[in-house]
Each structure stands twice: as structure tokens, then as C-alpha cells.
A and B are shown apart, each in its own frame.
Chain A
Amino acid sequence: MNKVEKFLRGRFASALVAVIIGFAVAAVVLVAAGYDPIASFGALLSGAFGKPKYISNVFIKATPILLTGISVAFAFKTGLFNIGAEGQYILGTVLATVVGCSLNLPMPLQVPIVLLSGMVGGALLGAFVGWLKAKFGIHEVITSIMCNWITFYLCNFVVMSDAFHKPNSTSAVPVNPSSYTILFGMWKKSEAGKQFLAGIPWLREILLKTDLSAGFLIAVVVAVIISIVLKRTKLGYELRAVGLNRDAARFSGIAVERNIVLSMLISGAISGLAGALSITGTSPHTITLLAAMEGYGFNGMSVAFIAGCAPLGCIPASILFASLIYGGMSVQQAMGVPSDIINIMIGTIVFFTALPGIAPFFANKIQRRREAKELASSQGIERA
């Protein structure tokens, strides 16, 4: 086996091939629609990485989808399809907002409580779906979708309710500033901070022009923890065994139903955390009236699939997708290309990650060609 073949049989290659095909399909669509694909991709790139603040924004965008990505990946590793990350995310934002604007404790207390309430929201919703599956055998995909829409309307209900509606707006009351997880939030606006930052323009741009928060760091920590749980703990072992062969797990005395609920609970909590961090980390620090699904859960699924459902793999995958989504907005501004092209691209990428044989398919071709060559040469030797 030569190096190219070995690479093509690896997991990274499948992701790479899918991404390349995603760009290729997008290019075809762009050409068909009369746009210049090279210029569009150029605009995409500079829109994502052209300035320090763009890069900062990419990381801000990556935070929720990294977490929902880990959430989906974790569930998938345990044999469950958490298409409900979207709803769990929304419920996370709702509960974080409700708690964050009702309570006003000192920051070291307030932040954990607000984040925790978001996690509890997502966890309960996830556990409910898990329970429906464990107890009644209802496929989690359908119930998750239903729950997504229920939380969607619940969010709008809370936004419009007398208790939380912010008058003359389409949003709820923002959470108290003690809930913010923005990095150096107080210091960067102080005189000392301003003076210090004046000397370092790129840092000044990042800190003052974007909501850079602790979110991404927290998400990375979550990725590491979940990776360890899956690979090195008894819990992770049981969850994987249940996911890979439910019957054998049951036969071996593993409590299958409990593990299904537990898995969805953990998965939901991670998505809920994503929602809570969006509230505490980015303005307007509250929930607004939703017109359509925001897509954090669905983009999380893309992140998870391209990462082969490895929690650590979600980190680069989330940065990739965040840069596509964030950079895509500049493509619309600069080139007039509808930003939906990005969704087409992401959908294509996920579609091709679903095809298990796509990279190995090329590997097989190379192998066959090599074998044919070897055969030909060996026959040549025999004849000689």
C-alpha cells in the first residue's frame, strides 16, 4: 500500500474529499448562476480571515456549533441520532435568559448558575427524547424534530410573555451583566484597559470590536472531557456498547434503557450549554422572536459528521464551518451571491460524509491500477 492509498483509507481523507466536493458543487452552482466562483471563494476567505476581528468572530461563531457538534457526536457514538440539538440549544437560551434576568448575584455565582440552568434545560429535553425511545421505542429523530418546533414556539411565547417581554422590541429583557462571559469585559472598557490596548492594535480590534468570550475555551474543555469519557471511562464503555449492540449490552447486564436516557441527557446538556453561552457571551444577551430555526443544532450535526463524530475532531470542523458561515456573509455583500450557497455547500459536504466508501473508493482504484501494473511487470519477469 503506498502513501496515497493509506491516506485515502484514513478518516481525515473522507472529510477532506467531502469538503473538496462541497466546494466543487458550490462552484458549479455559482457558475450556473452566473457568478465567478474564484472571486466568490476569495471573498469568502478574506471575509473569514481578512482582519483580526473577523478571525475573532469566526471563533465566536464556532463556539455554539462546536458544542452542538460535540453533543451530536457524543450521542452518535452511543448509537443515538440527536437531531434535537437545535431545540436543546433554544431551550438553553430560554432558560439562561429567564434565570439570568431574574437573578442578579455576584459574577462568580451568577455565571455558573446561568450556564447551569441552560444545561439543565437542554438536558431535560434530551432526556425526554431518550426516555421516549427507551420506554416506548419511538425513533429519536421524529420526537427530536417535534421537540425542536415545540421549543421554537416556547421561545417565542417567552419573548412575548408579559413577564419577560422588552417593550417596543421583538426580544426579551437582556440578562444582567453579571452573567456575561465576555473576556475582560470590564477591564477592556476601563481607562487602564484602553490605554494598554492602544499600543496593540490587533488585540484592541479583537477585544473592543467583537464579543470575544470564554465560550470557545469552555467548548474546547468540554470536547476534551467528552473525549476522555468516551474513550477511557466505564461509563463511556457502557454507552458505546449500548450504541453498537444493544442486545449484547443488555445480555451482559448493562442497563440499556438507563444508558439511552443518560446519553441523551448528557448530549442535551452540552447543547443547552451552547445556548446559555450564546446568551452570556454575545449581544443582545437575550432571546429574540424567532422567524425560522437558527440552525445551530443543524450546523452542529454537520460539524459532528465531518469530524467523524470524534469530539476532538469537532474543534477544527467547527472552525471550518464557522468560517464558511461567517465568511459567507461577506460573499453576499461583496459579490451579491445569496449566502444560501453556504448551506448548499454544507449540505453537500454532509451528504458526501454519509457515503462511507467515497475516499476508499479512490483508494481501491489506485490499488487496482497498482496491482495490475505489478502483475504485468511480474509476468514480464517470468517471461524474461
Chain B
Amino acid sequence: MEVSPEFAVQMHGIVKKFGAYTALDHVDLDVRKQTVHAILGENGAGKTTLMNILYGLYQADEGSVYMDGKEVSITSPTEAIAHGIGMVHQHFMLVENFTVTENIILGDEVCGAAGVLDMRKARKEVMELVEEYGFDVDPDAVIQDITVGMQQRVEILKALYRGAEVLILDEPTAVLTPQEIEKLIEIMHDLIAKGKSIIIITHKLKEIMQSADECSIIRRGVYMGTVDVKNSSETELASKMVGRNVNLTVEKTPAHPADVTLSIRGLTVKDERGIEQVRDLNLDVRSGEIVGIAGIDGNGQQELVDAICSLAKATSGAILMNGQEIQNTNPRNVLNHSVAVIPSDRHRWGLVLPMMVEENTVLERHGEDMFGKGIMLDYEKLHEFTSKLIESYDIRPAGCEEERMSGLSGGNQQKAIIARQVSYVPDLLIAFQPTRGLDVGAIESVHKTLIAERDRGAAILLISFELDEVMDVSDTIAVIYHGQIVGTFAQGTVDENQLGLLMAGGEAK
């Protein structure tokens, strides 16, 4: 593409290497002014790296960047901001105990003499912005008290406050409800109308179809071309992204639910601050079925899982596993009742990263006699056991038994956790955000494993913030809102909009 002032941003021949690994290999990007330009690619394809280069967080090894037809050099966020680039990161860059106003002005403060903050004037400037763009944001609210959707708007305001003309949104819909996503798309079109240009990074095809004008595709660091969204289809985009034909639907046979395995009755759980996060929650999971819980992050999912695992105290109610109460005991006892959990944050809850792979695969069961008699731990047995898991779950690189877990890729780490949890042959398998941060291939394999476990006769409780995942994989869909199950549906009897409304606290039509 020629360099021309028609384009807000042009990046040509960008190469970025991390050591021996080439993250970006001559990637091009041409963003027309006043358009929404999507960058599509799997996790790890290099989308975010490309944007971090544009935002000055990384320096490219080769290639040039042009804005309005002129070459620019951006070596720090400060310079990016000066060039009118604003970025909304996937994990919000907000100081949680600061107010909205403090977060917006940080680094570009409104000051009187000698660096003394003029908070009144700052607040007024923020208010003006809020009104100009019609955002629903309270400038005095503290970040940790407002919804994720509002936090995202604060991030956009941060960029606008600095006079951004080009906005980069990194996976902006990952944490939003369908209704919030609609609102975001509205905001994006509004910004375009006011003269801004938007780059959106995503791996969600549907949103590209809804919001973007053009879409550039990156596969494993290689530029695969740019398509006009109007003349394309989800399937075409998907195969360009993955490099093969992708089956977008999850294949499974009908479920054959049997007895109730997990039964939760009137469960109430408070967090550390004493606020009820789970209130009077009722839920049954039968063996041979997958119950999926849909909901927005922060509606009691974490506390529910913690309570089942006996990591959080149930202030009232009961959790029954095969008819026996397990609440308020300890994690060891819960494990002994044949409950296995795939945790949401694998680095925090699932793995001891500096330990070897073979040590990680026996985290719960190192005490069993099969791994050594008495007080000794038999590393040969660990090795043998782990080799089998590595083979049957295709954990790569092969022969990584004595490597540190931290050396494995995210997808392989997740495979290791799933292999470990399934190796118990559990009666109940809880999968909390099991595909977070995985690429398409890995997601497919996780879903297949869940369904295979169901068909073996395990009860599966799937908790996910990705509505599509819940809708595709579950046999029964339950919606959680403010710590309660506000609706339960058989798969196929409910659509996305109904679920979205329930997730946001509305009434189902």
C-alpha cells in the first residue's frame, strides 16, 4: 500500500524478534481515517505485539510507521500520546483505588503552582469530556467500585483526554455482556463520526462483522492480508486466521444425565469485606451432563468455586457431593470426595511454575503410595506417570518431564492441568474459564476433553465468562447474577439476547 495522508496509521514491513523467536515477520497495516480497522489473529499470533510497537512500548527491529502520510518514530508511550495515539489495554491499566478523575489525569495532571493538583478544575475538564461523548461515568467514583463496562469507558476517556485521534482497543469485548458490547459498538461508531480512527484487536469473528470496516489478519507473526469486511464471511475470516478450515461448532452427542452428583442448596458466601457474593444459590449437576454457568466476571463465580473447594466459608446453605455435605471442611476433604477443579487462573491456582512438569502433575496426589512409600517421594514413579500423561494429552514439547513448568506455553500448561485433573477419574469436574488465553486449536481440544469426561459419566460444571463457550458446550445453561442463579435452560431453548439480559440483571423475555 502506498503511503498517503488518507491513512491515519500505516505500518510497513514490521519485524520484531524476541531472542531467537520472531514474533512479527514483515507485517503491514494500513488504517484508513475514520474507519474501524480490525486486527484478527489467534492468541500469540502477534496482534498485541504489533500494537505495543505502535504505542511505543516495544521497538520494532525493522519497518516504518507513518501517520497522515508522514514517517514517524515512536519510542515511548509519551511519544505515542503526543502523536495522538491512545491505547485501551486488554487488562485495564487503571489504578484501582484511585477515582475516575485521578486515573484520567494521571501523567497529564491539572496543576496550579508548584505541582499542586487542582482537582476542581480537573474534575470539570473530565465532566466536559464525559458530556461531549455522552458516557455514563461518575468522575468521583473509585475504580474498584464501578462495573467493567464503565472501567472500559474510563480507559477510552483517558485516551480522549490526551487528544487521541487513533484509538487502539485490545480485546475490548472479552469481559463485556452482549448488551455492553452493543453499547461499545455504538460508542465506536460515534467516535468515528467525530473524526477518530479505531484499531480493534480481537479473535472474535462476530464482532468484526458487526463493527469493523476492514480487517487485517495475522497468523503466527505473518501478515495474511486485509479484507473488506462487508464482502467477507465469518468462515472466510476464520480459515484465514487459522490456516485451515475450522469447525466453529462443538460436536457432541445428546447427554444422558443420571443421578445428581453435586447439589448446592441455599448457599451464601461472603467475601473478605463481609459482602455477600453468593446468596441463597441453588444448583444441581448430574452425572453425564455439562452444566454451564453464564455470567459476567464478578457475579459470585469465584466465590462459588472457592466455597465448593472449601477455600471460602459458606455462611449458610449446604454443598452435597453424592449426598454428603462437604462445605466448610478443607480442600483435601473435597478432593477425597472426587472433586477435581480446573482453576480460572492457572498460574495462580493451578501450577507451581518453578517446579518441574513431573512435580506439577502430582500436585494433589503426591501423598499417594503409588508415588513413593512412607515419607519418601519416588521421582522415577513421577516420571513414569507424567510420561503417560504427556503422551495421551499431547503435551509439548515431548519429553518435558523434568523441564520447569514455566517453560511450557500457556496451552500446554493448561493441557497439563486438565490431564492432571482428569487423571483422578473424578465424579465432578469443575472447569472455571478453562480456555482462557488459549488459541483455537487448544480450545477445541479442551472442549473435546470436557465432553469425553461427560460421556464417561462425570458431572461437569463449566463456568465461563465467554457466553459462546457456555452456549456451545453446555447441556444445561444456568445464568448467575449477583450471586444467584437467575435462570436455567436446556441447550437450544434460549438465545444470546435472553441470556445477556439475565446476565445484566434484567428480566428474560
Contact = CB atoms under 8 A, between A and B. Distances in A.
A and B touch in the complex (CB under 8 A): yes
Contact of B332 (A236, A237, A240, A253): A253
Given A251-B311, A252-B364, A253-B335, A232 B352 contact: no
A236 B364 CA distance: 15
Contact of B353 (A237, A245, A250): A245
Contacts, number: 65
Interface of B: 309, 311, 330-332, 334-335, 341, 343, 348-355, 359, 363-364, 366-367, 371-372, 375-377, 379
Contacts of A240: 352, 355
Contact of A245 (B330, B341, B352, B377): B352
B330 A234 contact: no
A233 B377 contact: yes
A244 B375 contact: no
B366 A234 contact: yes
Contacts of B352: 240-241, 244-245, 248-249
B328 to A, nearest CB: 15
B331 A250 contact: yes
A357 to B, nearest CB: 15
- Interface residue tally of chain A, by bracket? 20 to 34
Contact of B348 (A238, A247, A252): A247
A236 B359 CA distance: 12
Main secondary structure of the interface of A (DSSP, over half): helix
Given A232-B377, A233-B375, A233-B377, A253 B348 contact: no
A171 B470 CA distance: 74
A250 B309 CA distance: 10
Contact of B377 (A237, A248, A249, A252): A237
A244 B350 CA distance: 12
Contacts of B377: 232-234, 236-237
10 contacts: A232-B376, A233-B376, A233-B377, A234-B367, A234-B375, A234-B377, A247-B348, A249-B363, A251-B311, A253-B331
Interface of A: 232-238, 240-241, 244-245, 247-255
Contacts of A234: 366-367, 371-372, 375-377
Given A241-B352, A241-B355, A235 B375 contact: yes
B355 A244 contact: yes
A240 to B, nearest CB: 7
Contacts of B330: 253, 255
B331 A251 contact: yes
Contact of B351 (A232, A233, A245): A245
Contacts of B335: 252-253
A248 B375 CA distance: 22
Contacts of A233: 375-377
Contacts of B354: 244
Contacts of B309: 251
A29 to B, nearest CB: 37
A251 B376 contact: no
A248 B332 contact: no
A254 B359 CA distance: 14
A254 B349 CA distance: 12
B350 A251 contact: yes
Contacts of B355: 240-241, 244
A266 to B, nearest CB: 14
A233 B410 CA distance: 29
A237 B376 contact: no
A251 B332 contact: no
Nearest to B305: A251
Give 3 closest A-B pairs by Cβ, nearest first: A253-B332, A252-B363, A253-B331
Given A236-B377, A253-B330, 6 more contacts: A237-B366, A238-B366, A241-B363, A248-B350, A250-B311, A250-B331
